[in-house]
């Protein structure tokens, strides 16, 4: 009898007879370029972390686009607003600005200096340790350096939140702002697709689950890096 009552109560809740409206859970599959790219990624277990070192990804904030400005400053200039630049650097070295942080939704004032620069950090959306364990250790050193400095894989974000992420993938860490999660995992998929990396089964399931909530989610544009002029390179390097 108790079992029957439970079944009847469950049926009543499902049909709304009890006065409680139950929203149906969408079973629509993920769609869009991000979902298609995810489906094309190989699924494997994480390789051992053995041999991983940050230096395996080349120079930190290398000027891989050869515009005379390192990638950290390039990303700060891209993601901040109301930036001010150090005089004499041809708008390269960012001194301050404001960040609309995609991970927390907060507005963060950035000021370059000891004790303040880390308020805004540059996140590798696909953490480099994660990349190492999902195929990057098999890449050529110059390709790994591109991965470590690729604007597609870099975002200016809240420092403490970035620190909490560690080398987590989508199965273990997501941005606190739920409204940004679709764009976040789509960027991870884009990076892994670009560099031939794989996903774990748990990671794939987590990303697919998020993408079901945003049908048609596109992949982010892969930033086209314009070739700098020799004059700009010379001016920024101080040789012109």
Res. 75: pLDDT tops 60: yes
- Confidence band, pLDDT 50/70/90 cuts, at residue 223: confident
Higher pLDDT, 32 or 20: 32
More confident residue, 140 or 21: 140
pLDDT in tens, 93-106: 999 999 999 999 99
What is the tens place of the pLDDT at every residue in 41-51? 999 999 999 99
The neighbouring-strand residues paired with 96 are 84, 111
Q: Calculate mean pLDDT across residues 172-187.
A: 98
The answer on pLDDT for 36 being more than 70 is yes
Which residues lie closer than 8 Å to 68 by C-beta, 6 or more apart? 90, 92, 228, 232, 233, 235, 236, 237
Helix, strand, or coil here: 49? coil
- Angle, helices 181-194 vs 201-211, to 10°: value is 130
Instruction: Provide the whole-model pTM.
Output: 0.82
Residue 194 corresponds to which tokens in the numbers above? 């670009």
Indicate the pLDDT class of residue 66, thresholds 50, 70 and 90.
confident
Give the number of other CB atoms < 10 A from CB of residue 44.
Answer: 14
| 18, pLDDT greater than 50 | no
Count Cβ atoms below 10 Å from residue 198 Cβ, excluding itself.
Answer: 17
Nearest Cα neighbor of 104 from 83, 123, 77, 126 is 123
In the three-class reduction of DSSP (H, G, I as helix; E, B as strand; rest coil), residue 158 is classed as strand
Q: How far is CA 171 from CA 61, 156, 168, in A?
A: 27, 22, 8
pLDDT at 96: 97
Report pLDDT for 235.
52
Q: Does residue 208 sit in helix, strand or coil?
A: helix
Quick one: which H or E segment has residue 95? strand 94-100
Q: 129: closest CA among 173, 78, 63?
A: 173
pLDDT of residue 34: 97
59 or 22: which leads in pLDDT = 59
26 vs 212 pLDDT, higher one: 212
For 162, what's the count of Cα atoms within 13 Å in the CB-facing half-sphere? Answer: 18
């Amino acid at each position: 009898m108790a079992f029957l009552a439970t079944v009847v109560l469950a049926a009543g809740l499902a049909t709304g007879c009890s006065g409680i409206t139950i929203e149906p859970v969408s079973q629509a599959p993920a769609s869009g370029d991000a979902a298609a790219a995810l489906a094309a990624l190989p699924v494997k277990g994480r390789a051992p972390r053995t041999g991983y070192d940050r230096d395996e990804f080349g120079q930190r904030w290398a000027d891989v686009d050869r515009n005379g400005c390192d990638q950290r400053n390039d990303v700060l200039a891209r993601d901040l607003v109301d930036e001010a630049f150090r005089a004499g650097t041809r708008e390269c070295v960012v001194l301050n600005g404001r960040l609309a942080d995609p991970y927390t939704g907060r507005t963060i004032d950035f000021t370059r200096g000891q004790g303040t620069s880390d308020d805004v950090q540059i996140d590798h959306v696909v953490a480099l340790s994660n990349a190492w364990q999902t195929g990057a250790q098999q890449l050529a050193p110059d390709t790994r350096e591109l991965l470590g400095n690729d604007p597609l894989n870099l975002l200016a974000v809240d420092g403490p939140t970035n620190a909490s992420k560690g080398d987590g993938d989508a199965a273990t860490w997501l941005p606190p702002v739920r409204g940004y999660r679709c764009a976040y995992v789509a960027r991870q998929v884009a990076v892994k697709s670009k560099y031939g990396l794989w996903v774990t089964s748990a990671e794939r399931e987590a990303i697919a689950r998020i993408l079901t909530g945003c049908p048609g989610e596109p992949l982010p544009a892969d930033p086209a890096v314009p070739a700098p002029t020799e004059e700009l390179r010379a001016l920024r390097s101080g040789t012109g």
